[in-house]
Amino acid sequence: MSKKSTFLTFFAKVKIRGDALSKGKFYITTAIDYPSSNPHLGHAYEKLCADVLARWHRLLGKEVFFLTGTDEHGIKIMRAAEKANMSPQEFVDMQSEKFKELCKLWNISYDRFIRTTEAQHIKIAQEIFKKIYENGDIYLGKYVGKYCPDCETFYTEKDLVNGKCPVHNKPCEIVSEESYFFRLSKYKEKILEYLEKNELSIWPAGKKEEIRNRLKNGLLDLSVSRTSFDWGVPVPINPKHVQYVWVDALINYISGIDYPSERFKRFWPADVHLIGKDIVWHHTVIWWSLLMSANIELPKTVLVHGFIQTAGGEKMSKSKGNVIDPIELAKRYNVDAIRYYLIREIPFGEDGYFSEEKLIERNNTELANDLGNLVNRTLAMIERYFNSTIPSGSLDNALKEKLRLQAIMQHMQNFELHLALAEIMQFVKACNQYINEKEPWKKQGSELADIIYTLAESLRVIALLLHPFIPTSAERIANSLGIKITNFEDIFSGKGLAGNRIEKIGILFEKTKR
């Protein structure tokens, strides 16, 4: 068996639920952020997790569409603009740029950044509203009740905690105005049925249970228009009203792929709507009912990540002054180190803490020491012993077996991003141990060539597997070996590395102090 096919054969053994490597599409979205204030670490974390999944599916060979953006209507934005002495449009134009800058600095590989003030989105939001109205699911009434402008959500007395918004712990405003209502109550049984039938409709399962229990308490119709302000999508059947901002916002997931065009047909239903735990109700009960009413297929998975808190365990909030600015953070640290730290540290789906000390610790030990040293030692040996050209040799089976590719694939499939990353880093450690045990500096001839060839091929696999998590550094490793990162199939079916000239890349991760 030729050397190049050894990794391929090994890879071919990996079959996850039969579809890991299947071609096909993968459509992933994040929530669209309120640009009423600047981006915070929670926004960055969500985009990062989506980016890891998007990049992973590109590696699998899928056609990926990754949508993110900003949610620019509603009373919260209007008030923030007033405070800034700007028109709402000027204000969101300015603020959305900050979210784009965040994406750029954090290397978020989105395919489209949607803004809900775009003409195309407004048109589609109106079309869907009209369709739902024509289907008989919208009627005119009067809304009298509580509203939290911070989460742009209506609450019943039962939802409140000590009479306050359960998310923001602030008193709600009393709203009393003419409003269109959507027959949300009509969809209760259908949603329960969908939850029963579809294993992955909401992940993790605990969140699914929460929705099921809340639904069992009953479901009221939803107020879907406002008349007391005008910063929103005009209701097509009555322009005195603007659409409830959540209805407008949720529609971004289909307007972002140009509903009802060819692109929509290609990518819908979404494979993953990635969101935080505070908006699961909106993305399941409300979104699914709107879709059912408009006769549009339901998304496959609503994937719920946890919240990031500060090291003291406090929720980040502007009033507490403990909000971490992800743009400023990215200017102080290597972005790949931040990305690595967040994914490695926080079990996906759970809440986690952000601590700069821990970020530095993981940077210095796992990235600078374990990964950086492996890369530098390997490249230095190729330079010293083989005049900078990767020798041909045989792969070491014992080391190869330490790469638990199947477990990595399975973790990614199960959304256990932290475990996948931990597995990859175990292999990095195994490679360092391999060098220590083999002592290549004491070897010569084919024995030395085998060790170095094995290390070079291992680095190639490591670069590929780490690419979704630390893309810039993974590309630097790949470049140093004379290869490009494309997808698994290309890499594993491409020719072996023997004969490639290496490029030294300097320090991959600088050790840092606070």
Residues with catalytic roles: 40, 43, 148, 151, 165, 168, 315, 318
- Interface with ligand MSP (CB under 6 A), residue total 19
Q: How is residue 505 written in tokens? A: 């890349």
Q: Which stretch binds ligand MSP (CB under 6 A): 28-36, 134-142, 227-235, 260-268?
A: 28-36
Question: Is the C-alpha dihedral spanning 60, 253, 282, 232 positive or negative?
Answer: positive
Residue 317 C-beta: closest distance to ligand MSP, Å: 9
Nearer residue to ligand MSP within complex by CB, 58 or 73: 73
Q: Which stretch binds ligand MSP (CB under 6 A): 92-100, 213-221, 248-256, 504-512?
A: 248-256
Site string for ligand MSP, 320-339 (x = CB under 6 A): --------------------
* Using rule CB under 6 A, residue 32 touches ligand MSP: yes
Q: 220 CB contacts (<8 Å, ≥6 apart)?
A: 156, 184, 185
Residue 165 C-beta: closest distance to ligand MSP, Å: 13
* Using rule CB under 6 A, residue 393 touches ligand MSP: no
Nearer residue to ligand MSP within complex by CB, 148 or 409: 148
* Using rule CB under 6 A, residue 278 touches ligand MSP: yes
Nearer residue to ligand MSP within complex by CB, 70 or 223: 70
Q: 254 CB contacts (<8 Å, ≥6 apart)?
A: 124, 128, 264, 268, 296
CA distance 447 to 451: 7
Helix H or strand E segment including 147: strand 138-148
Residue closest to 237 by CA, chosen among 114, 119, 136: 136
* Using rule CB under 6 A, residue 459 touches ligand MSP: no
CA distance 147 to 174: 6
* Using rule CB under 6 A, residue 275 touches ligand MSP: yes
Residue 354 C-beta: closest distance to ligand MSP, Å: 9
Q: 359 CB contacts (<8 Å, ≥6 apart)?
A: 333, 337, 338, 341
* Using rule CB under 6 A, residue 316 touches ligand MSP: yes
Nearer residue to ligand MSP within complex by CB, 275 or 464: 275
Applying CB under 6 A, among 28, 31, 430, 483 the residue interacting with ligand MSP is 31
* Helical spans, DSSP H, in 23-154: 41-59, 75-83, 88-105, 119-134
Applying CB under 6 A, among 20, 43, 78, 438 the residue interacting with ligand MSP is 43
Residue 168 C-beta: closest distance to ligand MSP, Å: 10
Amino acid at 328: E
* Using rule CB under 6 A, residue 202 touches ligand MSP: no
Contacts (CB under 6 A) with ligand MSP, residues 405-444: none
Residue 18 C-beta: closest distance to ligand MSP, Å: 31
Nearer residue to ligand MSP within complex by CB, 71 or 345: 71
Q: Which stretch binds ligand MSP (CB under 6 A): 26-34, 153-161, 173-181, 473-481?
A: 26-34
Helix H or strand E segment including 114: strand 112-115
Residue closest to 221 by CA, chosen among 142, 291, 329: 142
* Using rule CB under 6 A, residue 46 touches ligand MSP: yes
* Using rule CB under 6 A, residue 249 touches ligand MSP: yes
Residue closest to 282 by CA, chosen among 170, 202, 349: 202
- DSSP category for residue 389: B
Burial state string for 449-479 with b = 16 or more CB within 10 A and e = fewer than 16: bbbbbbbbbbbbbbbbbbbbbbbebbbbbbe
* 3-state helix, strand and coil shares in percent for the chain, rounded to the nearest 5: 50, 15, 35
* Using rule CB under 6 A, residue 113 touches ligand MSP: no
Residue 42 C-beta: closest distance to ligand MSP, Å: 2
Applying CB under 6 A, among 102, 172, 242, 279 the residue interacting with ligand MSP is 279
Nearest residue to the partner ligand MSP, using Cβ: 276
Residue 83 C-beta: closest distance to ligand MSP, Å: 17
* Using rule CB under 6 A, residue 341 touches ligand MSP: no
Residue 3 C-beta: closest distance to ligand MSP, Å: 45
HSE value, Cβ hemisphere, 13 Å, CA-based, for 84:
20
* Using rule CB under 6 A, residue 366 touches ligand MSP: no
Task: Identify whether 260 is preceded by a cis peptide bond (ω within 30 of 0).
Answer: yes
Residue closest to 25 by CA, chosen among 300, 209, 394: 300
Residue closest to 452 by CA, chosen among 481, 476, 478: 481
* Using rule CB under 6 A, residue 281 touches ligand MSP: no
Asked if 40 and 325 touch (Cβ cutoff 8 Å), the reply is yes
Interface residues toward ligand MSP, by CB under 6 A: 31-34, 42-43, 45-46, 71, 249-250, 252, 275-276, 278-279, 307-308, 316
